[in-house]
Structure 1
Amino acid sequence: MKKVISTKNAPSAVGPYSQGIEANDTLFVSMQIPFVPETMTCVGDDIESQTRRCLENIRGIVEEAGYELEDIVKCQCFLADINDFVAMNGVYEDFFEGHKPSRSVIEASKLPKGARICIDAVAVK
């Protein structure tokens, strides 16, 4: 059984996809760009604020589905510039407070809406 997850605590989908899909006690969170949900605009130009916003958007979807941050088992991070890795990693580490999901980080030549970072996640109950 699949369940569509939708919340006002993350940006609305800007295409033909859902914020999240839950199937068999697994939550698949769509890639989050650093948009503020209320304004649907980018939070700022720096990698730290953009990383934090992406992760807060993921938190909103995860919590709406009844999961917790500790349930996240995998994240994929896409950076417009791999040189932002150290700054992104510091925010990421602080956000998860010792919880260490599996993770991939890659540089992508161009991200949606001019973002410097996009992150998706998978959580399991």
Structure 2
Amino acid sequence: MVDKTRIYPENAPVPAGAYSPAVKCGQFVFVSGQTPEKPGTDELVEGDIKVQTKQVMENIKNILAAAHCTMDDVVKVGAHLADINDFDGYNEVYKQYFNIPAPARTTVESGIPGGSLVEIDVIAMLDKL
């Protein structure tokens, strides 16, 4: 059996299904796809792609902090946009959260349940075990 630890800080959105907000395994932290819910709830933040992207990134920062990571530890990002035409607004906010070298990233248009405009998952690497 793989040695893994569930990461679920109080200030993370409430999971909408049978998953962990994040899992620490070895030197990696895998953060599940985050949508723009207010911390500690499953209530979607109202707003355009910039507002929703900022909330998602803040949720990810909070989850990473609980795992003793920062955005600088992120090595891979997977992003889903409900409308690829929102890419510029999403990217404007997204790039404020990462220093160079930025993590590897995939961004695609997807059907996102619940009315979210954006969903983002990340993989971070811990400095120490």
TM-score tier (shorter): over 0.9
Which residue in the other structure is 1:12 paired with? 14
Gaps of 5+ in 1: none
TM-score calculated relative to the size of structure 2 = 0.91
Cα distance in structure 1, aligned partners of 2:99 and 2:11: 21
Q: Deviations along 1:33-79, whole A, 9 cap, x unmatched? A: 10001442111230001001111111111000111111100111100
Aligned structure 1 segments of 4 or more residues deviating by more than 4 angstroms: none
Q: What residue in structure 2 maps to residue 115 of structure 1?
A: 116
Q: How does 1:1-125 map to 2 (within 5 A)?
A: 1-108=3-110, 110-125=111-126
- Match of 1:37, SS state, is coil
Aligned 8 A contact 1:11 1:40 in 2: yes
SS at match of 1:41: coil
Number of aligned residue pairs: give it. Answer: 124
Q: Is the CA contact 1:35–1:42 (under 8 Å) kept in the aligned structure 2?
A: yes
CA shift in 2, pair 1:42/1:21, >3 Å: same
The share of aligned pairs that are identical, in percent, is 38
Gaps of 5+ in 2: none
Separation in structure 1 between the aligned mates of residue 91 and residue 101 of structure 2, nearest angstrom: 13
**Which amino acid counterpart does residue 90 of structure 1 have in structure 2?**
E
